Amino acid sequence: MSVAQAVQSDRYRPMDRSAPVFVAGRNGLVGSALWRLLTTEGFTALLGPGSTELDLRNRPAVFEWFAKHQPHAVILAAARVGGIKANDTRPTDFISDNLQIQVNVLDAALRHGVERLLFLGSSCIYPKRAAQPIREEALLTGPLEPTNEAYAIAKIAGITQIRSVRRQHGLPWICAMPTNLYGPGDNFHPEHSHVLPSLIRRFHRARTEQLPKVVNWGSGTPRREFLHADDLARACLLLLERYDSDSPVNVGTGEDLTIRELSDTVASVVGYEGAIEWDPSQPDGTYRKVLDISKIAALGWAPAIKLSDGIAETYAWYESTAP
Ligand code: GFB
Q: Which tens digits make up the pLDDT trace of 9-67? A: 544 579 999 999 999 999 999 999 999 999 999 999 999 999 999 999 999 999 999 99
Give alpha helix (H) positions in the chain: 3-8, 29-40, 59-69, 84-89, 91-111, 149-169, 195-208, 229-242, 259-270, 294-298, 307-321
The closest residue, in CA terms, to atom 28 on ligand 1 is 84
Report the SS3 class of residue 2. coil
Residues in the chain: 323
CA distance 230 to 63: 30
Phi, psi of 52 (to 5 degrees): -75, -30
Ligand 1 atom closest to 122 (CA): 35
CATH T-level topology, domain 3-186+226-255+290-305: Rossmann fold (3.40.50)
Residue 6's pLDDT is 47
Residue 13's pLDDT is 78
Residue 323's pLDDT is 64
Are residues 280 and 221 in contact, defined by beta-carbon separation less than 8 angstroms? no
Are residues 121 and 155 in contact, defined by beta-carbon separation less than 8 angstroms? yes
Q: Cβ(248) to ligand 1 under 6 A?
A: no
Domain parsing of the chain, residue ranges: 3-186+226-255+290-305
Report the SS3 class of residue 277. strand
Residue 322's pLDDT is 72
Q: How much distance in Å is there from the Cα of 196 to the middle of ligand 1?
A: 8
Ligand 1 atom closest to 193 (CA): 24
CA distance 123 to 143: 14
Question: Does 151 qualify as catalytic in the annotation?
Answer: yes
- Ligand 1 pocket: which of 95, 194, 282 to mutate (most atoms <8 Å of CB)? 194
Residue 113's pLDDT is 95
Q: Cβ(195) to ligand 1 under 6 A?
A: yes
CA distance 90 to 93: 6
pTM, to two decimals = 0.96
Low-confidence ranges of the chain (pLDDT < 50): 1-4, 6-8, 10-11
Q: Which listed residue (12, 126, 151, 272) is catalytic?
A: 151
Q: Is 5 exposed, middle or buried (0-12, 13-18, 19+ CB in 10 A)?
A: exposed
